[in-house]
Amino acid sequence: MNPKDDALDELVGYEVADRWGDDQDVHVHGVARLGETPSPFGGKRHPDPCALVIFGVTGDLAHRKLMPALYDLGCHGVLPFGTTIVGYGRQELRDDEFRALLQSSIDDHYGSESVDGSLCERILMTPRYVQGQFDDPSGYARLAAVLEDLDAAGTRGNRMFYLATPPSQFGVIVDQLGASGLARKGAFDGASAGDGPAAGWTRVVIEKPFGRDLATAQELNRTIAAAFDERQVYRIDHYLAKETAQNLLVLRFANGIFEPVWNRQFVDHVQITAAETLGVEHRGPYFEEAGALRDMIQPHLMQLFTLVAMEPPVSFDADAVREEKLKVLRAVRPMPPDRVERFAVRGQYVQGMVGGEEVRAYHGEDRVAPDSHTETYAALKLLVDSWRWQGVPFYLRTGKRLAERVTEIAIRFKRPPVTMFRDAAAGGGLAPNALVLRVQPDEGFSLRIESKMPGHGNHLQPVDMAYSYGTTLHELPFSAYETVLVDAMEGDMALFNRGDQVEQAWRIMEPVLRAWQTAPERGIPIYEAGSWGPEAADALIARDGHSWRRP
């Protein structure tokens, strides 16, 4: 079935079950004009049709995230006609079997009774599958032949390669894309492919983790640079695509009340938390290799940190924003190798109660070594040597099997210098003002202030001035994966990491990685599942006279 030009004007009704999961999406009944719909962010989004080539298409990421996101883009009317999904994997599949696999991903996510069948027909229109090993040149030759057919059929020479594979395969795939000519170095905007004529654009999207340390990240960057122009490379961090993370810059720079106090004179400290109640589940082998520091802090929390600490960019152009984020990373004070324990804490969960149910220890999880020293909790203290932030500590923490599931950024301001209300305040002291931006589960933000309690006398209590997307918007905007997919299709790099940013973040992590790698025989601090982490983490922040928030 080939797309018809007049189908652009077709109205497609859709009905998607309400949901509130990891990506905080809520879609409601509505009507979308397929191919031309107002964006949830305002204005219209018009990505070019392309061949979306997914390496590792039979894996977990494609099943749980990518295919549901593509279906949602179709619901929003954003996925352009002519876009064709091409799978590359090691399994042997016919095209019809591949189509059924993609359909099952959508059905499993939403429930088959909630899925719009006619819409799926359009999204899954004639998908193609190429079988091959990731290091097999003949497989890439077959892929090239399929892409040439699709160029003539409507993808206009536009190609997006999505690496949804284990990280060990990133360099292998990039090497083969370069050697086969599929990378088309320089074809970043459709203007040209190298020295040849206009031939559409080529982009590569690379999942995290990007390297295991500084050396491997640098090696991967060199491999990529040999095959692609930097303007073709989209290093994904779906946390930056979450609505609250994007809204942070608007809160800072579009409101006159925040930016004047966003500095060392008024901010006492900053806490960035990503807490999960879940354990490692089926990801035991991956987590054994990664750990909490590599899995969450280096790729995700460091990016949120840069959004909080960066200087105002000259514009919201991708390069301008990413340049300011890089400056922040370069200003982070290096951790003394002989005193890492004063700046970094790790932990591992043992048996405990979560949500009223007893859960097993990390050592008891599937495919986890019984003597593993992998951290399931990590906390860091960062200091930024800049005019704006000198002396203000930034605390980052993440953990599995903690008391609550929450990701938030909390900016705590200094207490007022005059304590005339000390006796009137609840608990005998004024609580510090705090601006809290909730990334998940219910996206929004709140400002905690002191207020007089109604009635006779001067009695104070802290109150929250709160805003929640879920209770005030008729329809939430795109999920994180929807956003990064459509941004990559449009060539918008603002939410993607540049190579030098990734390397600088690894430089900050290097002393911690070395210290933890050289001292496994001393054991690892433990914490009970369902708690807020190890006691060593409380001591880390208590040394500065602070305490962790308990959301």
What is the spatial distance between Cα 194 and Cα 38, in angstroms, rounded to a whole number? 34
CA proximity to 502, closest of 275, 219, 289, 281:
219
Count of helices and strands (H, E) across the chain: 15, 20
Catalytic residue among 109, 282, 300, 363: 300
Output the six-digit token pair for 208. 């995290």
300 among known catalytic residues: yes
Rg for the chain (alpha carbons), in Å? 25
Instruction: Please provide residue 154's backbone torsions phi and psi, each rounded to the nearest 5 degrees.
Output: 145, -5
Q: Are 356 and 530 in contact (CB under 8 A)?
A: no
- Strand pairing report for 202-206 and 159-163: parallel
Contact by Cβ (8 Å): 277, 354: yes
Half-sphere exposure for 537 (CA within 13 Å, toward CB): 26
Strand-pair partners of 168: none
CB 61 within 8 A of CB 69: no
| Distance between CA atoms of residues 101 and 60, nearest Å | 12
Are 164 and 208 in contact by the 8 Å Cβ rule? The answer is no
What is the 3-state composition of the chain as percent helix, strand, coil, each rounded to the nearest 5? 40, 20, 40
CA–CA separation, 266 and 261 (whole Å): 5
Residues annotated as catalytic (active site), given as ranges: 300
